[in-house]
């Protein structure tokens, strides 16, 4: 399945043919994708509490992945995804303009992920002694 989460896709067949939207969810096992604003389904929601009101909720339903094509962000055309290699990794590439469709993973929110080491367990007496020794060393450096 060449369609991934957050891809911009064009629906090519069915009731919503010609409509573009962002992929909200994918199900590779079933070969389905959920696209924003496509295949709207109505679901009744029952009141659960005394002051709640029953209502009809609209939600997007899944459509078959064969009914959508990925839209290249660079040339803004619906394409068949081609695989290529960049930096020793397999990436999705636009065959028309050669733009890379996969964004490089940079960790959480663009920052490098750091591993925090667990704090050393020390007794209070030992911690006080170390703190006093550090203060004395600091005083000696300032005197010199």
Residue 58 to residue 65: CA distance in whole angstroms = 21
Residue 22 to residue 45: CA distance in whole angstroms = 26
Residue 42 to residue 103: CA distance in whole angstroms = 34
pLDDT tens string 57-69: 999 999 999 999 9
Domain 1-45+54-71 CATH assignment equals 2.30.30.30: yes
Strand partners, 68: 11
Mean per-residue pLDDT, 96-100: 88
* pTM for the model: 0.66
Angle at 30 between CA 4 and CA 20, to 5 degrees: 45
């Amino acid at each position: 399945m060449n369609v991934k989460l957050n891809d911009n896709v064009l629906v090519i067949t069915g009731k919503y043919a010609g409509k573009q939207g962002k992929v909200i969810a994918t199900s590779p096992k079933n070969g389905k994708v959920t696209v924003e604003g496509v295949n709207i389904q109505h679901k009744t929601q029952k009141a659960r509490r005394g002051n709640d009101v029953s209502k009809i909720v609209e939600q997007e339903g899944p459509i078959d992945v064969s009914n959508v094509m990925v839209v290249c962000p660079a040339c803004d055309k619906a394409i068949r995804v081609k695989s290529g290699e960049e930096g020793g990794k397999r990436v999705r590439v636009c065959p028309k303009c050669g733009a890379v469709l996969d964004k490089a993973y940079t960790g959480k929110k663009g920052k490098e992920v750091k591993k925090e080491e667990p704090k050393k367990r020390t007794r209070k007496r030992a911690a006080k002694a170390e703190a006093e020794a550090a203060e004395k060393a600091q005083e000696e450096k300032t005197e010199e």
